[in-house]
Amino acid sequence: MADSTPRLALPLIAAGQAQKELFHNEALALIDGLLQPAVVAVALNEPPASPAPGQAWIVGDAPGGGWAGQAKALAFWTEGGWRFVPPLPGMTVWSILDGLPIRFDGAAWTFGELTGRRVVIGGVPVVGTQQPAITTPAGGLIVDVQARAAISAVIGTLQRHGLIAT
């Protein structure tokens, strides 16, 4: 049997293990920092001087001091000291200072980028996947026909994206 969980390395209690409360409490401390995490700041390389229990940060790319060797990790302060969790692809935290979600893409933390296939508001799709480019009028003798076709294409695209009613 493994001694920790596969994704977040939460400690597991072994059968017959002495001082089970230590492992249980460590797991709870990690879970407390990971459930709906919100960070005070992002990309700091040195730990703050006076952290409060429950506060969290995203460690920068060149950490030192008590954060040495923890580049890009989620760091949170507990009564027992620093806890670190290496980021996993898709991990998302909230930046309190910026008021934005921050997501780890497997290589770096990205600010405020929302990704998806479409946006639905009130049950109505308002933005879908990108459509092909609209042909630009070229001028010449049939400018009016080309201009009307371009305007119709723009209106059709806006309607398909739900930005204007059909």
Domain end among 77, 93, 111: 111
What was the pLDDT predicted at 112?
87
Assess whether pLDDT exceeds 80 at residue 101: yes
Higher pLDDT among residues 92 and 17, named by residue: 92
Mean pLDDT, residues 98-127 taken together: 88
Q: What percent of the chain has pLDDT over 70?
A: 93
Domain that holds residue 124: 119-160
Phi-psi region of 124 (alpha: psi -120 to 50; beta: other; left: phi over 0): beta
Say if residue 94's pLDDT is above 90.
yes
Per-residue pLDDT band for 10 (boundaries 50, 70, 90) equals confident
Q: Are residues 101 and 141 in the same domain?
A: no
pLDDT of the residue at 139: 63
Query: What's the CA gap between 106 and 39, in Å, rounded?
Result: 19
Considering the domain architecture, whether residues 91 and 58 belong to the same structural domain is answered as yes
Query: 16-67, pLDDT tens digit by residue?
Result: 888 888 878 888 888 888 889 999 999 999 999 999 999 999 999 999 999 9
pLDDT confidence of residue 23 = 79
Judged by DSSP in three states, 94 sits in: strand
Distance CA 158, CA 52 (A): 49
For range 66-79, the mean pLDDT: 95
> Within this chain, do residues 101 and 131 fall inside the same structural domain, yes or no?
no
84 plus 103 within the same structural domain:
yes
Per-residue pLDDT, 100: 94
Total domain count, the chain: 3
104 and 151 fall within a common domain: no
Question: 89-98: long-range contacts at Cβ-Cβ below 8 A with a sequence spacing of 24 or more?
Answer: 93/37, 93/38, 93/39, 93/56, 93/58, 94/36, 94/37, 94/38, 94/39, 95/38, 95/39, 95/41, 95/42, 96/38, 96/39, 96/40, 97/40, 97/41, 98/42
Q: Which two tokens stand for residue 110?
A: 């990205």
Determine, yes or no, domain membership for 165: no
Residues 45 and 107 in one domain: yes
Clarify whether residues 30 and 42 are in a common domain.
no
Sequence-ordered list of residues with C-beta below 8 angstroms from that of 130, at least 6 positions apart, any chain: none
Task: For 139-160, write each residue's pLDDT tens digit.
Answer: 666 668 878 888 888 888 888 8
> Which of 67-76, 103-112, 138-147 is predicted least confidently?
138-147
Cα separation, 143 vs 4, whole angstroms: 70
Same domain, 86 and 130: no
| Burial of residue 13, with CB atoms counted within 10 A of its CB: 0-12 exposed, 13-18 middle, 19 or more buried | middle
Contact by Cβ (8 Å): 103, 90: yes
